[in-house]
Amino acid sequence: MARQNTVFKEAYNRYAVALRTDTALPSEPEIAAQLGVSRSTARAILTRLSEEGIIRWNKRQKIVLRQPTDHDLFPSEETDSLHDIIERSFMQRILADDAAPGMQINELELAREIGTGTTSVREFLIRFSRFGLIEKRPNSHWTLKGFTREFALELADVREMFELHSAAEFGRLPRDNQSWADLAAMRDEHHAMLADINQRFKDFSVLDERFHLLIHRASKNRFIADFYDAIAIVFHYHYQWNKTAARQRNERAIHEHLDYIAALESGDQAAIDAACRAHLHSARQTLLQSLPQIATETA
């Protein structure tokens, strides 16, 4: 098989769950735009909905006959894109305890284990290499550099340079910019989480990511944005694996964020710089503490 129709299946599920009996559906281009797919895929969805008796479809008339049940949806294994499957599978291997730095990565073996072709694995590895966790020797294998202390320090250094820059840019945004409203909303979210910290401290990592993303967007710099994407993915898996969601540490981070937000809102560049530095310093400590204790770089 050349390609799985995961785009179709995933979009079908997404559209099906939102259907309400007796409502009429909009035009094909509109559905396609809503779902973020091409009209071809949108039509495939309508065709299937029609075949399943969920809608009655005749040209412009598209009436929802019945609410789709869980039974109508495609199982989640079939809706994940191959890229996501490979990413998950690979990250698990990388973060597993037996993945020692210096280890070789074998494309064919990876592909077989994931149950996919080598081309997709290769392309994933090429894309993934920008995160600095693996490295290729030309005409030869990939090497796992690993989530080591060196990696964490290099990452933290760049992160600090970028965030200080972005925070300063944020402080210079005109007051009518949407970002200020977003920041205010985020301040409230922080307060809400703090009020119920014992229950919700585990949700912090998601809020943290959104907060820093908001700051970084102010820089309007593609290299900074790309780097933050990389950080976000690496951290996402790293913290998922290392369940070091210490309540105390997160509470402290929330307070730092609130100070940081206050500094941004003050517009005082010196205050912004200080608050940003303070938070980045403790974020660095958190990162270093979350490392597997033994790992050290091997040449």
Q: How many CA atoms within 13 Å lie on the side-chain side of 199? A: 4
Map the footprint of a copy of itself across residues 204-223, applying CB under 8 A.
Answer: 219-223
The pair phi, psi for residue 287, each rounded to 5°, is -60, -45
Part in contact with DNA (CB under 7 A); list of ranges 16-24, 116-124, 196-204, 246-254: 116-124
Signed CA dihedral, 162, 168, 171, 172: sign only? negative
Q: Which is nearer to a copy of itself, 132 or 292 (CB)?
A: 132
Binding track, positions 244-283, relative to a copy of itself; x by CB under 8 A = ----------------------------------------
Q: Which is nearer to DNA, 105 or 133 (CB)?
A: 105
Q: Which is nearer to DNA, 9 or 257 (CB)?
A: 9
- The CA distance from 34 to 81, in Å, is 19
**Shortest distance (Å) from residue 75 CB to DNA:** 15
- The CA distance from 224 to 168, in Å, is 14
Q: Which is nearer to a copy of itself, 63 or 126 (CB)?
A: 126
Part in contact with DNA (CB under 7 A); list of ranges 140-148, 218-226, 249-257, 282-290: 140-148
Binding track, positions 159-178, relative to a copy of itself; x by CB under 8 A = --xx--x-------------
**Shortest distance (Å) from residue 4 CB to DNA:** 6
Cβ atoms of 46 and 55 within 8 Å: the answer is: yes
The pair phi, psi for residue 94, each rounded to 5°, is -60, -40
Residue 43's binding partner among a copy of itself, DNA, none (Cβ under 5 to 8 angstroms by kind) is DNA
Q: Is 158 in the site for a copy of itself (CB under 8 A)?
A: yes
Map the footprint of DNA across residues 34-73, applying CB under 7 A.
Answer: 37-41, 43-44, 59-60, 62
Part in contact with a copy of itself (CB under 8 A); list of ranges 107-115, 119-127, 188-196, 280-288: 119-127
Name the residues that contact DNA, by CB under 7 A. Answer: 1-9, 27-30, 37-41, 43-44, 59-60, 62, 81-83, 105-109, 111, 116-120, 122-123, 136-142
